[in-house]
């Protein structure tokens, strides 16, 4: 089937060509997107959160190995409610990090989602936490040069949560770099994804590609985002509605790229709080049936 052998456009690299892709450069369109993200983060730094946002209930955390990618252990950070009973099956959510990698901000988001009653697994596609803009750009470029490996991270995380953790339903969420991968995962493994949330991630407008989407999608974007054009966001929304897909798009006036990152210079508290409310409500409806 097409959805099993191809990553959705605009990544557009055949999974069957994985061996060759390992040494290939990223496609020109992807390189341009990475450059746009670099411009958006030009004045940012991976600083510690000025005001950590605590989960609604006590949670437990652990560093886990969720699979093997490229012959190496795939490591992540998992959180779940402390009150979880032995053997209790909880819906689960995969978190895909932003430009800076799996840092303290992403771990905080995992704890917050766990506080909503989920097993939350924050994966690490970079294999390191970026401490400079150049490191972040290099790491993102490396993933773009071999999207097969990125797709394997998503599949391994899904198998870990569906299999070993026995999650009855599975959601994905990502910010920036991760926002694009959240959408991609819903497109190339629809059998595993029950709900997808993308925060200012790279959009897809190709009708044929979007026809693979089975999961409901929530997209959250900033009107002033210079890297993700609102016109493309609206085009994706229109195509999905024409295809009869379940899609909710919110564009926040005055908000820039990375508006939901409390450790970044573009943080917009009003937009971030509204987006979080929409996110938790969306997952509650589609993963918990409430």
Residues with active-site annotation? 176, 225, 257
Specify burial of residue 242 (Cβ count, 10 A radius: 0-12, 13-18, 19+): exposed
Peptide bond into 10 cis (omega under 30): yes
Specify burial of residue 169 (Cβ count, 10 A radius: 0-12, 13-18, 19+): buried
> Across-strand partners of 170?
92
How many Å apart are CA 219 and CA 173, to the nearest integer? 10
Q: Residue for token digits 């993700």?
A: 228
CB 49 within 8 A of CB 105: yes
Q: Is 272 helix (H, G, I), strand (E, B) or coil?
A: helix
Reading phi first (left if > 0) and then psi (alpha if -120 to 50, else beta), residue 37 is in alpha
* Distances, alpha carbon 143 to alpha carbons 125, 126, 139, in Å: 7, 7, 6
């Amino acid at each position: 089937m097409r959805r099993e052998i191809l990553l959705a456009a605009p990544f557009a690299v055949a999974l069957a060509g994985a061996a060759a892709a390992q040494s290939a450069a990223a496609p020109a369109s992807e390189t341009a997107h990475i450059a746009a993200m670099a411009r958006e983060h030009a004045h940012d730094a991976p600083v510690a959160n000025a005001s950590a946002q605590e989960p609604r209930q006590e949670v437990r955390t652990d560093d886990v190995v969720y699979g093997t990618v490229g012959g190496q252990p795939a490591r992540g950070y998992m959180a779940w409610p402390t009150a979880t009973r032995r053997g209790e099956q909880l819906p689960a959510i995969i978190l895909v990090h932003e430009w800076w990698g799996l840092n303290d901000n992403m771990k905080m988001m995992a704890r917050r989602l766990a506080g909503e009653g989920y097993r939350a697994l924050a994966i690490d596609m970079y294999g390191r936490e970026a401490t400079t803009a150049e490191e972040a750009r290099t790491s993102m470029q490396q993933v773009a040069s071999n999207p097969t490996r990125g797709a394997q991270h998503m599949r391994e995380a899904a198998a870990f949560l569906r299999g070993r953790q026995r999650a009855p339903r599975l959601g994905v969420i990502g910010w920036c770099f991760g926002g694009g991968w959240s959408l991609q995962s819903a497109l190339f493994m629809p059998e595993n994804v029950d709900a997808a949330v993308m925060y200012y991630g790279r959009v897809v407008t190709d009708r044929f590609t979007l026809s693979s989407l089975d999961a409901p999608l929530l997209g959250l974007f900033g009107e002033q985002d210079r890297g993700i054009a609102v016109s493309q966001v609206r085009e994706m929304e229109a195509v999905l509605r024409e295809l009869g897909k379940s899609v909710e798009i919110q564009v926040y006036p005055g908000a820039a790229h990375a508006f939901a990152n409390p450790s970044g210079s573009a943080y917009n508290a009003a937009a971030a709080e509204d987006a979080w409310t929409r996110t938790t409500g969306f997952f509650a409806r589609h993963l918990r049936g409430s």
